[in-house]
Structure formats: C-alpha cells, structure tokens
Amino acid sequence: MADVFEHLEAYAGEILHGWSDDEQSEKPPFQVVRLSGGPYAGTTTFSTLGLSNFPLPNGKTGDGARLIRHELLMVVPKDAVPGNIAAVLQQAGLEALSRNAAYLCGEMLGPKGVLFEGYEPKALYASNPVYFPDDFASVAVDGVGDVAFVWFFPLLDEEIRYLHTHGWPAFEARLEKENPDLVDYRRTS
C-alpha cells in the first residue's frame, strides 16, 4: 500500500511546490501541490493533498449512500500554467468541504465567472483521470481505505450549454467522438 504523496509522485513526477495558504493568508485543512509531470509530455499536474483526510458523503441516500475520500486534480500545459490555478483547485476543495459532499463524475462546478484571466472557461467538470493509466484513478492507503482522484477540466461556454441541454452521458459521448485536448484550457470549442 502507498500513501497519496507516493502515489502522486509515481504517476506525475516529483512535487515541485506546495501551497497551504489561501488568498487571505488563512490555512485551509489541505494543500495544493504542483508536480513535475503529467499524463503525457508537456503537461504538469496540480493536486490537492490532504483533502482525502475528510471523508465526504456521495450525496445519495439509502443503499447507495457511502463516504468517499478524494483528492482533486487539474492538468495543464507546462508552457501555459495559469497563475491562479492553485487557488482555483483550492477553492474547489474548500467548496467540497463546505457543502459536505464529494464530487462525482459528471458533475459541473460553476459557472462562476472566468477561471483563468484572458481565457473563456468559466466552469469545471469532474471526471475520472482518463489521461493517466487506469491504476492511477485510486490508491489504497493503509489505515484509511481507498482514495479516489477526481480530475477537473475547464469547460468552455458551448460545452456548458451542451452539458445543460443534453446531460453528462451525451456530453461524454461527444467528447469521446471529438477527442478535444481537455488539458489545454486555451482550446476552441
């Protein structure tokens, strides 16, 4: 069994930097880290680290209810790292804690205004980290259990409208068909 730190470094390279303060210099209960690599050449990964210390309900009731431990990821081009990406990921983690619910695949966070200054994306989409090898999606941590990794990628305006109109299964089918580079927030719709 590995821990989250080792698991991240095994798949996305060495941790280069970590942030543990928010914009008001307050200490959130987890960090955001930048790793040296990503799922393919020319990418870099940002992840929460410590969010999995807080098991969160999956939002279901009855037999489907369970607690989920997860860390949140974003992957961007190495040559175009938005200056506020750590803050965006930190905010997503803090929102999970404040709403007391885990993010589920197919869920949209936002829209809440422009994510990265000068670019269109205004919302994030929660997905499995499909650009990484399958073994990356979760890790069994001794004394804790399974920790899942939720990949957030930015959504463009047209993608937000399509998701609202057609739902997440149709949206994901369209992504598979068109195969856009979801890592590049500068992409066209």
Query: How many domains are there within the chain?
Result: 1
Asked if the structure places residue 62 within a domain, the reply is: yes
Asked if the structure places residue 187 within a domain, the reply is: no
Instruction: For 51-92, write each residue's pLDDT tens digit.
Output: 999 999 887 666 677 889 999 999 999 999 999 999 999 999
Asked if the structure places residue 17 within a domain, the reply is: yes
Asked if the structure places residue 22 within a domain, the reply is: yes
Instruction: For 174-186, write each residue's pLDDT tens digit.
Output: 999 999 999 998 9
SS3 for the chain, per residue? CCCHHHHHHHHHCCEEEEECCCCCCCCCCCEEEEECCCCCCCEEEEEEECHHHCCEECCCCHHHCCEECEEEEEEEECCCCCCCHHHHHHHHHHHHHHHCCCCCCCCEECCCCCCCCCCCCCEEEEECCCCCCHHHCEEEECCCEEEEEEEEEEECHHHHHHHHHHCHHHHHHHHHHHCCCCCCCCCCC
- Give the structural domain span for 40: 4-178
Look up the pTM and report it. Answer: 0.92
